[in-house]
Every structure is written in C-alpha cells, then in structure tokens.
Amino acid sequence: MTDKKASIDYPIHELLAERWSPYGFEDRPVAQADLRSLFEAARWAASSYNEQPWNFFVATRENPEEFARLLSCLVEANQGWAKAAPVLVLGVVSLRFSRNNKDNRAAVHDLGLAAGNLVVEATARGLCVHQMIGILPDKAREVYQIPEHSEAWTAMAIGYKADPAKLPDALKERDLTPRQRKPLSQFVFTGKWGQPSPLVLKRDF
C-alpha cells in the first residue's frame, strides 16, 4: 500500500496528516456501528446559532436499490469510480435559519465542518472518505424530495482504501500521485492581500 501521509512543515495531529481521499476502495463492507459513529461525529460539529443545517442521505452496497439511487445523483465521471465504494453519502444543506427563515450565510461552511468531523472520525477508524462536489443537485431533489431552501451540496464515498496496484491504470495513477498543498505563505496574510504573515515565514523544525 502506498504511504500518502502528508509531508508537513509544522506539527499537526497524526490523523490530519494521515487523511487522504482515495479513488480506489476495497470490496469490503463498513460496519454499521462505525457508520453510526461517523454521523455522531458530524452531529457534534460547531454551527452558527447551533442551527445544525446539515442533513445526510446514506446508502450502502448491501442495499443495491438505495445505492443505485444515490449513485444516480453523482456526475458520470464520479459514478465510474464511486460505484466500487461500500458506502455513499449525500450532504444536503438547509440554506435558511429555522429560527427566523432568514438566509443562513454560514450554512455551507457548517456542512463542511460536519463533514470534517466525519472525515477525522473515519480516519481514526481506519476508513477513508472521498468527498465530491460533482453531483446532480436537481436529480437529488427529485430522487429524495428535498424541500425548498435546502439543496444537495456534496457527496462522499466511504470505505477502506484499495491497493493501487489492483486498480485500473487511470485510478492507479491518481492514488499513487504524491499529495501536494500550497505553502502557508500563499494563504496566510497580514497587512494586505497577498502579503505573507511573518508568522508563517519561519519554520520551527
């Protein structure tokens, strides 16, 4: 198995360094107890006014009909590889506050926080999550009768990463390519846009 651990510039938690998003998944089911804990982690994410504006649809390959329904809400390119994952999840965001029906500008941010909690919990359990923006929101609305002012926003494939050597060439290349990130100096600023903060111009180790 390839080692995709992050090459860090500063110390971070091991789970964050180990997390990555494979395209290849083993043909191995995920225990229901693990899935419940993933959603429990999402449940305890922070949100504006404690609105918790996220909803999730979940489908496993153990229920082929439901799995096919959720798979149909992904764009074709994502269906090609995600069909091998044992679990698919559709993230839906409520775009208005329930307390006053006003627009919730933090809603998508908060869905992301919930997904982030879920991903870290998954990593702690030896699972991988591949998140996707490539979905069909209108199809999802039709399939799942999503109400007005809510919208399907993202999807996730969850499972155990496959050995890249066993994957088709296109997926093998993706899963073997080293992970890369911008340096902190390109997105942590002080004073004006584009001016790196002195905080991130020195290394501690």
Q: In CATH, what number is assigned to the domain containing residue 64?
A: 3.40.109.10
For the chain, the domain total comes to 1
Instruction: Report pLDDT for 187.
Output: 96
Residue 115 belongs to a domain? yes
* HSE, side-chain direction, 13 A CA sphere, residue 35: 18
Instruction: Report pLDDT for 38.
Output: 98
Q: Which two tokens stand for residue 132?
A: 């996707």
Three-state DSSP at 202 gives coil
**pLDDT tier for residue 204 given thresholds of 50, 70 and 90:** low
Residue 54 belongs to a domain? yes
> What order of strands is seen across the sheet that includes strand 128-132?
54-60, 87-94, 150-159, 128-132
Domain with 53, as residue range(s), is 14-164
- pLDDT for residue 1 is more than 70: no
Question: Whose structure tokens read 């489908």?
Answer: 59
Residue 82 belongs to a domain? yes
Residue 69 belongs to a domain? yes
User: Considering only 43-52, 122-131, 175-184, which range has the smallest mean pLDDT?
Assistant: 175-184
